């Protein structure tokens, strides 16, 4: 039931990736054997194919990962390729492992990382949620986008106290307003070629938008990479405060929306790197001494299971010596442990920076 056109595109894409010097996890793990075993499969409900999962990595050889799940069933139908990539990215979550029950811990466990404001520009914690009974981006109809947006906007409309604010649909925003919000690190970028090739930009900007509380330190992204991204951010290094604010928002929204959670994989997301806790806790940080030796910084980051991104997020450069450093693993550990991993790692980097001075 996989068409000849799809098979031909898969074969050509596979051969081109295999001949490339791509460093992606897709290239590393997609052996010819696994490829041949999966190329004629499709998911039971949405009939998603291997091509739907890996088109992003086939089109973008500079992908770090290169695979997305078009629908939740893809994680099972195409487990032979998802499982090894998940194990590699999340540092040892094996195909027989089960993601633990949620344990969020408390912000007070994470006191200010930089009380003197010497290194940390800002702190952000985000998580992703999918809404039950809706597939991920590539399988959503235009009608689904509208319905999801409406459900999520209604839930956002119930938020009160420090969370109260307003939802802005992307469709009502002019380009300069949109660009300003991107530059201020509030809004997702437009035209991400990795997401585009994954089929995540159909009907754009329909159904997409952003919610702000009044203080602009609590944000919710609607229908970008995931149905929902819940974000808390502010200047400085008070991770505990930022984390608590995000947790309060997740809890409040969870009273009005049913989130998809899988017994083995944890909270479900479009990208396998976000499964499990879905948490990315990051700082924008200046480490001028460590910065002098990029390999050394990367080595330290790897040692503490941290991921280094550029100043404008994934696939961007570090401007003015500002890096975005976050936990890398999100799966196979609790929310508390994921944030603790970032907390301990950033403390260690700051120590190393001081010693290198
Ligand atoms: P995500 O965090 O959702 O995986 P990105 O890496 O694209 O996605 O980051 C989204 C936006 O959040 C970008 O503008 C990025 O610069 C911003 N960002 C991430 N961490 C921080 C931080 N600690 N302080 C300020 N902005 C941040
Ligand atoms: C890539 O493969 O580079 C993109 N599809 C993004 C993958 C998610 N990145 C990450 O490290 N969390």
Q: What is the pLDDT along the chain (357 residues), one digit of tens a residue?
A: 899 999 999 999 999 999 999 999 999 999 999 999 999 999 999 999 999 999 999 999 999 999 999 999 999 999 999 999 999 999 999 999 999 999 999 999 999 999 999 999 999 999 999 999 999 999 999 999 999 999 999 999 999 999 999 999 999 999 999 999 999 999 999 999 999 999 999 999 999 999 999 999 999 999 999 999 999 999 999 999 999 999 999 999 999 999 999 999 999 999 999 999 999 999 999 999 999 988 999 999 999 999 999 999 888 988 888 999 999 999 999 999 999 999 999 999 999 999 998
Give CA separation, 304 vs 118, 204, 292, 308, 318, in Å.
21, 38, 19, 11, 20
Whether 98 is covered by a domain: the verdict is no
Q: Left (φ > 0), alpha (ψ -120 to 50) or beta: where does 253 sit?
A: alpha
- The residues, ordered by sequence, that sit 6+ positions from 200 with a Cβ below 8 Å of its Cβ are 68, 136, 137, 138, 225, 270
Q: Are residues 251 and 311 in the same domain?
A: yes
Q: Are residues 123 and 15 in the same domain?
A: no
- The structure tokens listed for 44 are 């039971």
Q: By the 8 A CB rule, do 132 and 260 touch?
A: yes
| Protein residue whose Cα sits closest to atom 6 of ligand 1 | 313
Q: Are residues 157 and 42 in the same domain?
A: no
- The structure tokens listed for 131 are 């809404």
pLDDT recorded at residue 357:
86
What is the domain-level CATH number for residue 11? 1.10.135.10
Q: Are residues 10 and 147 in the same domain?
A: no
Q: How far apart are CA 324 and CA 308, in angstroms?
A: 6
Q: How far apart are CA 187 and CA 193, in angstroms?
A: 17
Q: Are residues 116 and 85 in the same domain?
A: no
Whether 116 is covered by a domain: the verdict is yes
Indicate the top mutation candidate among 114, 208, 219, 324 to test ligand 1's pocket, ranked by most ligand atoms within 8 A of CB: 324
What is the domain-level CATH number for residue 153? 3.30.590.10
Q: How far apart are CA 86 and CA 88, in angstroms?
A: 5
Q: How far apart are CA 260 and CA 72, in angstroms?
A: 9
| Ligand 1 contact, 233 CB (< 6 A) | yes
| Ligand 1 contact, 280 CB (< 6 A) | yes
Q: How far apart are CA 208 and CA 312, in angstroms?
A: 20
Q: Are residues 124 and 85 in the same domain?
A: no
Whether 99 is covered by a domain: the verdict is no
- The structure tokens listed for 118 are 């010497």
Q: Are residues 53 and 174 in the same domain?
A: no
| Ligand 1 contact, 309 CB (< 6 A) | yes
Q: What is the CA(223)–ligand 2 centre distance, in A?
A: 17
- The ipTM assigned to this model is 0.97
Beta bridge mates, 42: 49
Q: What is the CA(64)–ligand 2 centre distance, in A?
A: 5
Decide if 216 is catalytic: no
| Ligand 2 contact, 56 CB (< 6 A) | yes
pLDDT recorded at residue 239:
98
Indicate the top mutation candidate among 273, 279, 307, 316 to test ligand 2's pocket, ranked by most ligand atoms within 8 A of CB: 273
What does DSSP assign to residue 109? G
Of 37, 54, 89, the domain-final residue: 89
Ligand at minimal distance from the CA of 195 is: 2
- The structure tokens listed for 5 are 């056109």
Decide if 193 is catalytic: no
Q: How far apart are CA 192 and CA 56, in angstroms?
A: 11
Ligand at minimal distance from the CA of 272 is: 2
Decide if 196 is catalytic: no
Q: How far apart are CA 54 and CA 14, in angstroms?
A: 10
Whether 179 is covered by a domain: the verdict is yes
Whether 83 is covered by a domain: the verdict is yes
Q: Are residues 348 and 269 in the same domain?
A: yes
Whether 94 is covered by a domain: the verdict is no
Q: In 255-293, where does DSSP find H-type helix?
A: 288-291
| Ligand 1 contact, 315 CB (< 6 A) | no
Beta bridge mates, 231: 126, 219
Of 53, 127, 139, 271, which is the active-site residue?
271
- The residues, ordered by sequence, that sit 6+ positions from 34 with a Cβ below 8 Å of its Cβ are 80, 81
Give, to the nearest 10 degrees, the angle between helix 79-89 and helix 50-59: 50
Query: Token match 């799940």: residue?
Result: 69
Q: Are residues 208 and 265 in the same domain?
A: yes
Domain boundaries, position 15: 4-89
Of 280, 330, 334, 341, which is the active-site residue?
280
Give CA separation, 8 vs 11, 44, 48, 50, in Å.
5, 22, 16, 12
Ligand at minimal distance from the CA of 22 is: 2
Q: By the 8 A CB rule, do 353 and 116 touch?
A: no
Whether 95 is covered by a domain: the verdict is no
Q: Are residues 128 and 255 in the same domain?
A: yes
Q: Are residues 146 and 70 in the same domain?
A: no
Q: Which atom of ligand 1 is nearest to the CA of 282?
A: 23
Dihedral angle sign, alpha carbons of residues 204, 25, 95, 106: negative
Whether 32 is covered by a domain: the verdict is yes
Segment 98-157, tens digit of pLDDT? 999 999 999 999 999 999 999 999 999 999 999 999 999 999 999 999 999 999 999 999
Decide if 229 is catalytic: yes
Of 58, 89, 120, the domain-final residue: 89
Segment 81-90, tens digit of pLDDT? 999 999 999 9
Q: Which of 264, 262, 273, 275 is nearest to 98 (CA)?
A: 264
Q: Are residues 179 and 139 in the same domain?
A: yes
280-286 β-sheet, strand order: 165-169, 209-213, 218-222, 228-235, 120-129, 280-286, 322-327, 306-309
Of 55, 309, 329, 330, which is the active-site residue?
309
- The residues, ordered by sequence, that sit 6+ positions from 291 with a Cβ below 8 Å of its Cβ are 297, 321, 323
Number of domains in the chain: 2
Q: What is the CA(63)–ligand 2 centre distance, in A?
A: 6
Of 89, 122, 156, the domain-final residue: 89
Decide if 126 is catalytic: yes
């Amino acid at each position: 039931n996989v068409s000849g056109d799809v098979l031909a595109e898969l074969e050509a894409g596979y051969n081109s990736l295999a001949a490339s010097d791509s460093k992606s996890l897709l290239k590393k793990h997609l052996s010819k054997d696994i490829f041949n075993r999966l190329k004629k499969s499709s998911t039971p409900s949405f009939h998603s194919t291997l091509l739907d999962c890996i088109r992003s990595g086939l089109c973008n050889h500079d992908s770090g990962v290169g695979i997305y799940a078009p629908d939740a069933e893809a994680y099972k139908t195409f487990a032979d390729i998802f499982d090894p990539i998940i194990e590699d990215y999340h540092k040892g979550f094996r195909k027989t492992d089960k993601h633990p029950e949620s344990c969020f811990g408390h912000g007070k466990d994470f006191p200010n990382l930089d009380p003197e404001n010497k290194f940390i520009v800002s702190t952000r914690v985000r998580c992703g949620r999918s809404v039950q009974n809706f597939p991920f981006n590539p399988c959503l109809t235009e009608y689904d986008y509208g319905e999801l947006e409406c459900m999520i906007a209604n839930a956002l409309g119930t938020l009160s106290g420090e969370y109260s604010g307003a939802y802005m649909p992307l469709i009502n925003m002019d380009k300069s307003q949109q660009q300003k919000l991107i530059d201020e690190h509030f809004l997702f970028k437009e035209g991400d070629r990795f997401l585009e090739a994954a089929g995540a930009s159909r009907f754009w900007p329909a159904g997409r938008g952003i919610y702000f509380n009044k203080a602009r330190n609590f944000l919710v992204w609607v229908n970008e990479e995931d149905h929902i991204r819940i974000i808390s951010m502010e200047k400085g290094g008070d991770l505990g405060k930022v984390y608590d604010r995000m947790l309060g928002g997740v809890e409040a929204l969870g009273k009005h929306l049913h989130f998809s959670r899988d017994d083995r994989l944890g909270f479900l997301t479009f990208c396998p790197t976000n499964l499990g806790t879905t948490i990315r806790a990051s700082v924008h940080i200046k480490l001028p001494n460590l910065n002098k030796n990029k390999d050394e910084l990367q080595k330290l980051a790897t040692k503490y299971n941290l991921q280094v991104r550029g100043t404008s997020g994934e696939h961007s450069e570090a401007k003015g010596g500002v890096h975005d450093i976050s936990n890398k693993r999100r799966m196979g550990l609790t929310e508390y442990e994921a944030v603790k991993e970032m907390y301990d790692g950033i403390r260690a980097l700051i120590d190393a920076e001081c010693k290198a001075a």
